[in-house]
């Protein structure tokens, strides 16, 4: 067994076991109803279209949405253009933005398949978006590149507020 999985189980299992022993309905109520049933059925009348989370996520990342879109587009374009060479030659510093992209978008895609959608599902993704934006801006600054594509729309946005 992988060390990470063993550590995860060592931290998580005692808590779940203790809660189950203290509250015998916990497994049925929390795991079966509030996780599996909510995902597979419109249990609480929160049916939304498949694409619901994408605009919610981008609206929630305002005012940095434009920079986030540019950061994601630039990173995806870089990975796509270099494909296997880029993935094979990634060092720890190069894999960080890819890790952030995966960690940010896999849950969005996964939960988009859910039958019952709530807008607050992605509160955990906002720090990832902030890290991706910060990494993007820092990379532009360290390369001596201007980020006018980022700053001009933000200036217009803030000037209008």
Examine the pLDDT at 89 and tell me if it is beyond 60. Answer: no
pTM comes to 0.65
Report the range of poorest mean pLDDT among 5-19, 94-108, 139-153.
139-153
Report the range of poorest mean pLDDT among 53-67, 84-98, 114-128.
84-98
pLDDT average, residue stretch 13-37: 88
Residue corresponding to tokens 């940095």: 64
- Confidence class for position 78, pLDDT limits 50, 70, 90: confident
Examine the pLDDT at 135 and tell me if it is beyond 90. Answer: no
The DSSP symbol for 35 reads I
Contacts of 114 (CB under 8 A, 6+ apart): 38, 39
């Amino acid at each position: 067994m992988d060390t990470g999985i063993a550590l995860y189980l060592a931290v998580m299992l005692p808590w779940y076991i203790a809660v189950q022993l203290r509250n015998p309905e916990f497994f049925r109520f929390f795991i079966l109803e509030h996780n599996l049933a909510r995902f597979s059925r419109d249990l609480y009348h929160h049916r939304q279209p498949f694409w619901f989370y994408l605009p919610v996520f981008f609206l929630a990342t305002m005012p940095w949405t434009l920079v986030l879109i540019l950061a994601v587009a630039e990173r995806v374009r870089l990975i796509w253009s270099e494909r296997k060479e880029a993935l094979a030659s990634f060092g720890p510093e190069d894999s960080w933005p890819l890790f952030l992209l995966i960690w940010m978008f896999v849950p969005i895609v996964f939960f988009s398949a859910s039958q019952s959608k709530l807008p607050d599902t992605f509160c955990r993704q906002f720090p990832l978006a902030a890290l991706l934006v910060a990494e993007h801006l820092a990379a532009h600054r360290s390369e001596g590149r201007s980020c006018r594509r980022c700053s001009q729309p933000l200036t217009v946005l803030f000037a209008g507020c």
